[in-house]
Amino acid sequence: MNDQLRIMEIIDRPPVPPPSSSNTIARAALVKRTTLETDVTVSLNLDGSGTCKASTGIPFLDHMLQQISSHGLIDLDVQAIGDLAIDDHHTNEDVGITLGQTLAKAVGDRSGISRFGHFIAPLDEALIEVVLDFSGRPHLSYNLEIPTQRIGSYDTELVREFFAAVVNHTQMTLHVRQLQGGNSHHIVEAAFKAFARALRMAVAIDPRRASRIPSSKGVL
């Protein structure tokens, strides 16, 4: 009888939650950047589900931020007010700067992350490769050949400026390479999707590395 009571007690007992781990804590950050030209706030959660709120006043940039969030599984909120009456340049760049700073804050000292990411994304005829490394050394290699000057009202020169801003303030190495493509929208959107997936791979926690910094130097 005592054995039966003991079995019933175990069955009825609520499950014990798993032990807490620093790797299970949401890696979230918020950065606000205010200049005489723009006012930008970015918050993100690297361990999110891909929800996005983007309001920059630049519709195409909002669409690309949604790609980063959706395909990177990053919860992202970007709110920006800028001097769009002049052009989109300052707002586009400052959103990239602030996003880069927020990413850097969220990964911290980069302990436990996989560090490297690589993805090739197709979009119809376009095929774009992105390789990145959370190296601590900012470097951008960019060879997109976008055939038109504008996508809607968005100046396609600003694509490079956005990635340069992210790279410099996240301190990552980033290679964006066009393998195929003829449609401007397809080329740029495939680049952002490939960036999102490479980023998702790079910031993922490596269970074999635990809390160690992914470098033979011991620091990034």
Taking only the tens place, the pLDDT of each residue in 86-100 is 999 999 999 999 999
Question: What pLDDT is recorded for position 210?
Answer: 78
Query: How large is the average pLDDT for residues 39-56?
Result: 98
Note the pLDDT tens digit of each residue in 139-192.
999 999 999 999 999 999 999 999 999 999 999 999 999 999 999 999 999 999
For residue 39, what are the contacts with CB-CB under 8 A and spacing of at least 6? Answer: 32, 33, 80, 81, 82
Assign domain 27-203 to its CATH architecture.
Answer: 2-Layer Sandwich (3.30)
Rounded CA gap, 200 and 62, in Å? Answer: 19
Per-residue confidence band for 35, with pLDDT thresholds at 50, 70 and 90: very high
Question: What pLDDT is recorded for position 158?
Answer: 98
Domain residue ranges of the chain, discontinuous segments joined by +: 27-203
Rounded CA gap, 120 and 99, in Å? Answer: 22
Rounded CA gap, 201 and 119, in Å? Answer: 9
Rounded CA gap, 138 and 147, in Å? Answer: 27
Mean pLDDT estimate for the chain: 90
